[in-house]
Amino acid sequence: MKVAVIGMGGVGAAAAWHLARAGHQVECIEQFELDHELGGSYGGSRIYRHVYPDGLYTRLMEAAWPMWLELEKVSGRDLMLRCGGIFFGPGDHPDMATAAAALRDSGVPFETLGRDEAARRVPALRLHPEEIAIHQRDAGLLRASACVVAMAGLARAAGARLRERTRLLEIEARPTGVRLHLDPGGSLDLDAAVLAPGPWARGFLPSAAAGAIQVTRQRYHHFLPAPGREGEFGTDQLPVWIDMDSWFYGFPVHDEVPGAKVAEHLGGIPVDPDHVDRGPDEGLRERARAYATGRFPGLTGEVSYEKTCLYEKTPDEDFILDLLPGLPGVSVVAGTSGHGFKFVPLLGALAARLALGEDPKADLRRFRLGRFKSKLSS
């Protein structure tokens, strides 16, 4: 079959890899360049983890994890840092209890640590007296940009064609398949398509879903360790981490970017993805600095690197993964930002199966577009 993949971020690159190696004729459409920094898949670090307050995502990670291992093997690239993960919060916080229950139900090994044991294991981290931690060895970080480039490279090696700096204007239903209207490039007739436009999804979704998605501007910062304390923030001593109460999260010092990365999952400033102020934000910098130096006394608060990325979130933070109404053979993935990257090999494969009319072999009810219509009309 002749299939298009629109949007070559993480999900799109994964879908293209899945389709091309299955022998389909794949046209990849990217409005910017491969591995551009304007969306949500660019950069050197994304957390992978099995720890989730929601058991659905723990189970999805069990399905995605072998795909990551396969990608690293067949690409021959070092795509992951297996540094473990520590996830902490008040001992009575409901997310801590439900995360531990989800891990037990899925058979994923983990340890629960008290404050003193957490300090021994992770010297950089300071828990509050009422806090506990979940330590999970099968966690770490994904080198996001390297992952996208690796999947796109494998797709192209299997015959996929990449059209960069090409914008999708419209998808038109045809008696058999669909027609894409492109700028530049005219029109392109296909049997099916996977739409993975990231923060630009609202222009292609039904009105209820488009109205529900919010695109936000997020800032992250890297802070330098104090002299003599650099070792505390290396990958052999500091795991990836998430504060399950405040939803700050971060990474050890790794690769070429200096400093330990600290970011905040919640909040964010609503934006139009085509008009984003990507400059520094002193208020957000100070908020991150106050958290970082309070939680990690060995950090100086000196910013060594900072950057803007975009989220596109649904109100329930569940993904969108469905067929587009009125467009047979067109699947869409959206609403993944903030916690979707760890699942992209799986999401790309599921979107490809939907577009081809195959059984996705997964329960996708929570990801359907119809949930927005029912909520708005209730």
- Per-residue pLDDT of 315-367, as tens digits, reads 999 999 999 999 989 999 999 988 999 999 999 999 999 999 999 999 999 99
Q: Which of 36, 44, 46, 45 is nearest to 9 (CA)?
A: 36
Domain 71-140+214-313 is found in CATH 3.30.9.10: yes
Tell me: the pLDDT tens digits for 108-120?
999 999 999 999 9
pLDDT of residue 374: 55
Q: What is the pTM of this model?
A: 0.96
Residue with tokens 């933070």: 317
Number of H helices, E strands in the chain: 9, 21
Regions of the chain short of the pLDDT cut 70? 374-378
pLDDT of residue 377: 43
The DSSP call for residue 270 is E
Tell me: the pLDDT tens digits for 274-321?
999 999 999 999 999 999 999 999 999 999 999 999 999 999 999 999
Q: Is 54 exposed, middle or buried (0-12, 13-18, 19+ CB in 10 A)?
A: middle
pLDDT of residue 337: 82
Q: Which of 257, 275, 261, 256 is nearest to 219 (CA)?
A: 261
| Cβ-based neighbours of 52, under 8 Å, separated by 6 or more | 58, 61, 99, 102
pLDDT of residue 356: 98
Cα–Cα distance for residue pair 312/310, rounded to 1 Å: 7
Cα–Cα distance for residue pair 374/65, rounded to 1 Å: 33
pLDDT of residue 267: 86
Cα–Cα distance for residue pair 378/372, rounded to 1 Å: 10
Cα–Cα distance for residue pair 315/226, rounded to 1 Å: 39
Q: Where are the domains of the chain?
A: 2-42+145-212+316-377, 71-140+214-313
What is the number of residues in the chain?
Answer: 378
Q: What is the CATH number of domain 2-42+145-212+316-377?
A: 3.50.50.60
pLDDT of residue 376: 43
Omega before 345 within 30 of 0, i.e. cis: no
- Burial code (b: 16+ CB inside 10 Å, e: under 16) for 15-47 equals bbbbbbbbebebbbbbbbebbbebbbbbbbbbb
Cα–Cα distance for residue pair 104/196, rounded to 1 Å: 33
Q: Using alpha carbons only, how large is the chain's radius of gyration in Å?
A: 21
